Amino acid sequence: MTTVSMPALKLSAPTVWFVADTWAVTRRHLMRLVRRPDELLGTLLIPVMAVAMFGFVFGDALGAAMTLPGTEYREFLLPGLFALTMAFGIGNTTISVAADVRGGVLDRMRSLPMSPAAMLAGRSLADLLTATVELAIVMGLGSLLGWQWHGGLGALAAFGLLALLRLAFSWIGILLGLLVSGPEAAMKYFSLLFPLAMVADTVIPTDLMPDALAGIARWNPLSATVIATRHLFGSPSAATTSWVAEHATAMAIAWPVAITAVCMPLALLRLRRLSR
């Protein structure tokens, strides 16, 4: 009887070094977060406050407008807050990258035999791992408020869409961090995220917005992810006839992929041009 041996998978030396460099940068950012947990708490503060404000202070009024009782409205609200948690992580990314540029950290890394792509990929991977912790905490809070997923294995797909959204926003944050003059400027740009987060299908459905805002909200990348994850989690959703809502899952994949495809090469180009 003859046996057929499968060829061993061999990685090229540049690939091995790229993976090692990426993990080294990722580990640096994770260790920094362990030593400074206030950064994680600061990211979580906004969605936690949103749960309290929109879930309880305005929840009954918003739920009545949507014919959803308070508990059902909170189930509608939570997937939107999950997406907001992924989006608001852009603030820490931008500020951290801007601080590394000002502090000369990136210049020291560039003096090492390290791939420039690994420097940025490590930052993005650290964001993704941090996002899983943030998402777990917000989901735990949501379960205390009565939210739960009803979609079975579809919930895994919802986690994937949220992670994909965070990856895209991570590259936006990296690019902005390389472009701004410092952490102080990064904090000012972060305030621009609030209109983006609110003019979306996060807190209320787009059909309840004025026509001028509804058109913008429907094409907001957050809206596609929120609508798709509501469906996958089995959470209550609002009836809508927009093209984006009807193709929410496809758009929840297309938007982050397009954003990453644009921001990643621009960030690499900007990194190579620093200090020139």
pLDDT digit string, tens, across residues 93-140: 888 899 888 888 888 888 888 888 888 999 999 999 988 888 888 888
Write down the pLDDT at residue 1.
46
Write down the pLDDT at residue 57.
66
Taking only the tens place, the pLDDT of each residue in 254-273 is 999 999 999 999 999 999 88
Q: Identity (one letter) of the amino acid at 178?
A: L
Write down the pLDDT at residue 6.
45
**Each residue's pLDDT tens digit in the chain (276 positions)?**
445 444 544 556 778 888 888 888 888 878 877 777 776 676 677 777 777 777 666 666 666 666 676 677 778 888 888 998 888 888 888 888 998 888 888 888 888 888 888 889 999 999 999 888 888 888 888 887 777 777 677 888 999 999 999 999 999 999 999 998 888 887 777 777 777 888 888 888 887 888 888 888 889 999 999 999 999 988 877 766 788 888 899 999 999 999 999 999 999 999 988 755
Question: Rounded to an integer, what distance in angstroms lies between the CA atom of residue 118 and that of residue 169?
Answer: 18
Most distant pair of Cα atoms in the chain: their distance: 74
HSE value, Cβ hemisphere, 13 Å, CA-based, for 126 = 28
Q: What are phi and psi of 201, to 5 degrees?
A: -85, 45
Structural contact between residues 186 and 177, judged by C-beta atoms closer than 8 angstroms: yes
DSSP 182-245: SHHHHHHHHTTHHHHHHSSTTTS-GGGS-HHHHHHHHT-HHHHHHHHHHHHHT--------HHH
